[in-house]
Amino acid sequence: MRVLVLHGPNLNLLGEREPAVYGQATLEEIDARIGERARALGAELRTFQSNHEGALIDRLHAERRWADGVLFNPGALTHYAWSLRDAVAAVALPCIEVHLSDVSKREPWRRTSVLADVRMALCAGLGLDSYLEALELLLEIAPGPERDAEATVALLTERLAHPEERGVLAHELAQILRRSGRFQWVGLYDVGMEEVEVRGWSGPGPPTHPRFARTEGLTGAAIASRRPLVVQDVRTDPRHLPTLEGTRAEAIFPIVAPSEVLGTVDVESANAQAFTADRVRWLERCVDALAPFWGAGGT
């Protein structure tokens, strides 16, 4: 993936500019760190800084066919330069807005962002790490699911047509969903009268809680509401019951038979804000195709 990083006015003075607010790192150091991370993740990077609104727009236009996505810190232009919003809309590239400082906790005028309705996500308040978090998030969400929903549904349906031992089948279904959608972890759970129990999972490790009360955690809340539950940053939700270290965003999809919840699908990402509306719709279609796994009454 090719990523364009745009820095706006005054960011060329990072290091000496208000270090208590923006940190000690210079722009060169920041670009070098983003570059290192991009190389490690197999992405290509181009970076550009300007103190001029038009120059940022020109560069975005010039790179629009090269880039697959944009990390954009427009500096103070964020708060009033509407032509930047139109430029991002015009090139129609996935864009993540980045700020070193937490603009929501500073002067009220910094709370307006011209990019608010055209960006995919906002990473702010972490200093240099805002850029690194934004890069990782962009690489996960920008290309959309690796396979389109129809192709994934076809794979799941095909696998379901050849049932074998339930644990093996659950593992393989979870694996198809995880790989096709580029998620960090996927688990299929059976929901009983009292307890929820993992049937199969795919990801870097087993769930910390393979079995828990059906009222507990985010899963408990999704079961009670019978609706999908998406939490974009689990650190802000006290109901979160950690499944895997490093999870930042989680989505739970209950499988509802006419009168009861038979199972759940738990999908986890290492990146906060990873569940864009498109990806949730994609997941809903795929999870619907998984319903026969529970419908067969194999719990």
Catalytic residue among 22, 131, 171, 189: 22
Task: Give least dist CB 7 to ligand DQA, A.
Answer: 9
Instruction: Give the x/- contact pattern for ligand DQA in 108-127, rule: CB under 6 A.
Output: --x-----------------
Quick one: which of 13, 76, 168, 257 contacts ligand DQA (CB under 6 A)? 76
The whole-angstrom separation of Cα 200 and Cα 191 is 13
Residues binding ligand DQA: number (CB under 6 A): 10
Asked if residue 254 lies in contact with residue 224, where contact means CB atoms within 8 angstroms, the answer is no
Is 151 a residue that touches ligand DQA (CB under 6 A)? no
Whichever of 4 and 100 has its CB closer to ligand DQA, that residue is 100
- The residue whose two tokens read 């989505």 is 251
Catalytic residue among 7, 99, 171, 189: 99
CA-based end-to-end distance of the chain: 42
Structure tokens, 150: 């129809």
Asked if residue 236 lies in contact with residue 200, where contact means CB atoms within 8 angstroms, the answer is no
Instruction: Give the x/- contact pattern for ligand DQA in 92-111, rule: CB under 6 A.
Output: -------xxx-x------x-
Task: Give least dist CB 31 to ligand DQA, A.
Answer: 14
Whichever of 17 and 285 has its CB closer to ligand DQA, that residue is 17
Reply yes or no on whether 99 is catalytic: yes
Give CA 34 to chain center in angstroms: 18
Reply yes or no on whether 22 is catalytic: yes
Helix/strand/coil for 201: strand
Task: Give least dist CB 12 to ligand DQA, A.
Answer: 11
- The residue whose two tokens read 């550009």 is 48
Task: Give least dist CB 28 to ligand DQA, A.
Answer: 16
Is 182 a residue that touches ligand DQA (CB under 6 A)? no
Whichever of 76 and 154 has its CB closer to ligand DQA, that residue is 76
- The residue whose two tokens read 């419908």 is 295
Give every CB contact of residue 284 below 8 A, 6+ residues apart in sequence. Answer: 228, 253
- The residue whose two tokens read 């850029």 is 131
- The residue whose two tokens read 């608010």 is 116
Is 73 a residue that touches ligand DQA (CB under 6 A)? yes
**DSSP β-ladder status, 249-256 and 229-231:** antiparallel
**Binding-site ranges for ligand DQA (CB under 6 A):** 10, 73, 75-76, 78, 99-101, 103, 110
